[in-house]
Amino acid sequence: MKSTLKLSLKANEKIYINGAVIRPDRKVTIELMNDVQFLLENHVLQPEDASTPLRQLYFILQVMLMNPQGAPDARDMFRKSLPLLLASFKDEQILASLKQVDRMVGEGDVYGALKAIRALYPIEEAALRGGRDRELHEREPIAVGA
């Protein structure tokens, strides 16, 4: 027996379900009674906000949910991007989570993969900031004794 999921939406709050955009005109609670791929409006990443490697990966997967016709192309892009990300990150938690994301996408759980990527944002920010901090400290001074 499959479990159901209840979602409460505010008036005019969008939800993307299997590629359809739904926007209720009043506050509603909906019950999803079977397995569907959905994305809440507040989890939708705008293209201009896909400014880090993990946010770019998130955006690719988001396309799979929001545009089922574009899903094959997005899946191909995901398959090309993931190995590059795995090679570029050193953080063990990010690497382990990216492998889990790969497994989830392979099993069709794109929503779970998106949730896992969102959880990595703070770690990615710290890693990116840490890399810049180290880079700044390792540079030779431009002028000494000026």
Whole-number pLDDT of residue 11: 96
Per the structure block, which two tokens stand in for 137?
A: 């400290």
Q: What is the pLDDT of residues 89-122, one digit of tens each?
A: 888 999 999 999 999 999 989 989 999 999 999 9
- Is residue 92 a part of any domain in this protein? yes
Whole-number pLDDT of residue 68: 84
Is residue 37 located within the same domain as residue 54? no
Whole-number pLDDT of residue 27: 96
Number of domains in the chain: 2
Is residue 24 located within the same domain as residue 77? no
- Give burial (CB, 10 Å; 0-12/13-18/19+) of 114: buried
Q: What is the pLDDT of residues 116-146, one digit of tens each?
A: 999 999 999 988 887 644 433 344 444 444 3
Is residue 93 located within the same domain as residue 30? no
- Is residue 81 a part of any domain in this protein? yes
Is residue 34 located within the same domain as residue 99? no
- 10: domain range? 1-44
How many Å separate Cα 114 from the centre of its chain?
4
Whole-number pLDDT of residue 143: 43
- Is residue 34 a part of any domain in this protein? yes
